[in-house]
Structure formats: structure tokens, C-alpha cells
């Protein structure tokens, strides 16, 4: 009654050329997120958005290497990354709403100048 797992094709094989294309897309997304965080330091919501782009690039990179190496471990890590990203967004948004209710603004330069 046991199913032989070796005969179930659960990972799609990609060729080497498409792997390099996917890696280039992942690198572009990762550096786009880094660039967005470094350039935009004033709005908290935009910084959270670019942090999500970085996590998405890392997750896609795990999926690409998982398909090349024929291993499901990258897919499991990708699910964990997406779970952590979802919880990070919910906590970050709650923090942003709390800051807006208390101070009435979302400018990071004001909060960075506070002492204490």
C-alpha cells in the first residue's frame, strides 16, 4: 500500500539556460529591493514593500536551486520564507497604523531624530 516516491515527478526540471535567466531575474529583484530601501528612507510603507521584494527574490532563488538539484528542501524553505514575510507585513502594518494614530504622520526622518 506504500507509494514509491521515486516515480512521482513533483519537481519540474529546467535547463541550464533557463536557470541562468531565472537567476538573473532573482538578482535583479534582490538588487531592486536593496536600491529601493537605500533610496527611499522616508516612507515606512515603501520600505516594507521593498523588503518584501527582497524576500520574494530569496524565495524564488530557493525554488530555482530546488528544481536544478532535484530536491524538495528549497520548496520547503520557500514556504517558510513566504510565511515569515506574511507575518512581517502584518506586524509592520500594525506598527505603522499605531505610529499614525499616535503622531499623525509616517515620515521616518521625524522618528529617527527622536532621542531616548
Question: Residue 107's domain is classified under what CATH number?
Answer: 1.10.287.3510
Count of structural domains, the chain:
1
- Taking 90 as the threshold, does the pLDDT of residue 68 lie above it? no
6 inside domain? no
Calpha distance 102→80 (Å, rounded): 33
> Whole-prediction pTM value?
0.75
* Cell numbers 528542501: residue: 73
1 inside domain? no
Q: Which domain holds residue 53?
A: 19-112
Q: Average model confidence (pLDDT) for the chain? A: 81
Predicted confidence at residue 102, as pLDDT, reads: 81
Under 8 Å between Cβ of 29 and 49: no
Calpha distance 108→43 (Å, rounded): 6
The pLDDT of 53-82, averaged and rounded, is 89
The pLDDT of 83-112, averaged and rounded, is 83
pLDDT in tens, 11-52: 555 555 677 778 888 999 999 999 999 998 788 888 889 999
Calpha distance 52→84 (Å, rounded): 10
Amino acid at each position: 500500500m506504500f507509494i514509491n516516491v521515486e516515480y512521482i515527478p513533483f519537481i519540474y526540471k529546467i535547463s541550464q539556460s533557463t536557470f541562468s535567466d531565472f537567476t538573473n531575474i532573482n538578482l535583479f529583484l534582490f538588487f531592486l529591493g536593496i536600491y529601493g530601501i537605500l533610496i527611499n528612507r522616508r516612507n515606512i510603507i515603501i520600505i516594507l514593500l521593498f523588503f518584501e521584494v527582497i524576500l520574494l527574490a530569496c524565495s524564488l532563488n530557493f525554488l530555482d536551486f530546488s528544481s536544478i538539484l532535484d530536491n524538495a528542501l528549497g520548496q520547503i524553505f520557500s514556504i517558510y520564507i513566504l510565511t515569515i514575510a506574511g507575518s512581517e507585513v502584518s506586524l509592520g502594518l500594525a506598527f505603522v497604523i499605531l505610529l499614525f494614530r499616535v503622531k499623525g504622520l509616517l515620515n521616518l526622518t521625524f522618528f529617527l531624530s527622536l532621542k531616548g
